[in-house]
Structure 1
Amino acid sequence: MEIKRVFLVGFMGSGKSTLGRRLKHEMSWNFLDLDDVFEEKFQTTIKQYFADYGEDAFRIAEKECLHDVMHLENVIIATGGGTPCFFDNMEVMNKNGLTIYLKLSVETIISRLSSGKNVRPLVADKSGDELYNFIDEKLKEREGFYSQSKVIADAEILSVDAYVNIIRASSDLSS
């Protein structure tokens, strides 16, 4: 069975969107950021949606967006950091494509988030120890979901070429 879609999963700041854009060029596939799909569909920012409706409503709407992209082929999809952790999202992604968990340490995530915290609703008001503790706790909560991915990748060391090889090898193995 040829792989037709790749889902990049991992904590916010793990590089899913950046890697997805680079894989798009290397593989000549399409790339979608599920956050962008959400904002286009609901005509608002995720931050504003969170403020207006709360996280529970956001997660329901996010699931809807995930299902909206399931028919697409030759696509790399960067999911939101919480996407795999709600409803049956992880199971749906595993059944419909190759899931790759971009695994990073808490310290690396903090370093990456430091410059863009204000656009991330879950961490916008946190700094220092509070930010570390929040990320550490959330990562521990989510690890069980992320680890259900078909591939667990050390995102601190792998190159784009390594990911391309993983995707191609996984496609060959499933044939």
Structure 2
Amino acid sequence: MAEYQQRTARRIIIIGYMGAGKTTVGKALAKELGIPFYDLDWYIESRMRKTVKQIFDEKGEEGFRRIERNMLHEVAEFENVVVSCGGGTPCFFDNMDYMNEKGDTLYLKATPEVLYGHLKMGKSVRPLLLNKTPEEVKTFIAEQMKHREPYYMKAKHVLDVNLMDDYKKIKISVEEARKLLNL
């Protein structure tokens, strides 16, 4: 860990679709490295003093994405951090190019079926999935992945997380991330 801290400032920026495990992997990686972890959505909620859902409701997706871009530019200036971004973050403005410029980007790649399973088990409110039936959610994920995958694939590193379904496998995914990032 000390070796990590002594090198030039690094930022590890984790991207992927909602439910891929960005927060789970990001927290575990940051803990192992002894550096701070920031979830961009949580950071936005803290700074705006509103939930992501409230921001979506008040400003719509376009308004939220502008705020998200500004907050991304704030956290991407922090040194020696792990940041997990919202699923749509890389797909708007110049965000993906900016993240690649500022740090080591890591795409957590999973199939739409795996993502659906993770989201079904999750407890957090996902504004883009509200009021959809299970079949509509599956279709929505598959359609969004077709659009988002080209952005995600611009990441410097790609980690397959299709089998990350228990704590042991999460630990393995974190180890794989460390190898990819040369940590």
TM-score, length basis structure 1 = 0.91
Q: C-alpha separation between the residues in 2 aligned to 1:117 and 1:25?
A: 23
Match of 1:62 among 60, 65, 68: 68
Letter in 1 for 2:161: A
1:110-149 map, 5 Å: 110-116=116-122, 119-149=125-155
Q: C-alpha separation between the residues in 2 aligned to 1:5 and 1:141?
A: 26
Helix, strand or coil for the counterpart of 1:143? Answer: helix
**Residue 159 of structure 1 aligns with which residue?**
173
Helix, strand or coil for the counterpart of 1:71? Answer: coil
**Residue 156 of structure 2 aligns with which residue?**
150
Report deviation, 1:117. Answer: 6.4
Helix, strand or coil for the counterpart of 1:122? Answer: helix
Report deviation, 1:24. Answer: 1.1
- Larger CA deviation: 91-100 vs 113-122: 113-122
Matched, 1:17 2:62: no
Whether the aligned pair in 2 keeps the contact of 1:106 and 1:135 (CA below 8 Å) is: yes
**Residue 173 of structure 1 aligns with which residue?**
none
Helix, strand or coil for the counterpart of 1:65? Answer: helix
Helix, strand or coil for the counterpart of 1:125? Answer: coil
Q: C-alpha separation between the residues in 2 aligned to 1:33 and 1:128?
A: 27
Match of 1:38 among 37, 40, 44: 44
Q: C-alpha separation between the residues in 1 aligned to 2:148 and 2:8?
A: 29
Which structure 2 segments of 5+ residues have no match? 1-6, 164-171
Report deviation, 1:70. Answer: 2.0
Report deviation, 1:43. Answer: 0.5
Which structure 1 segments of 5+ residues have no match? 170-175
Alignment coverage as a number of residue pairs: 169
Matched, 1:168 2:175: no
**Residue 57 of structure 2 aligns with which residue?**
51
Whether the aligned pair in 1 keeps the contact of 2:36 and 2:82 (CA below 8 Å) is: yes
C-alpha change, 1:125 and 1:116, in structure 2 (3 Å) is farther
Q: C-alpha separation between the residues in 2 aligned to 1:74 and 1:159?
A: 20
Alpha-carbon RMSD across the aligned residues, in angstroms, is 1.5
Report deviation, 1:99. Answer: 0.5
**Residue 29 of structure 1 aligns with which residue?**
35
Report deviation, 1:167. Answer: 1.6
Report deviation, 1:27. Answer: 1.0
Match of 1:99 among 86, 89, 105: 105
Letter in 1 for 2:154: Q
| Higher RCO structure, 1 or 2 (CA under 8 Å, sep 6+) | 1
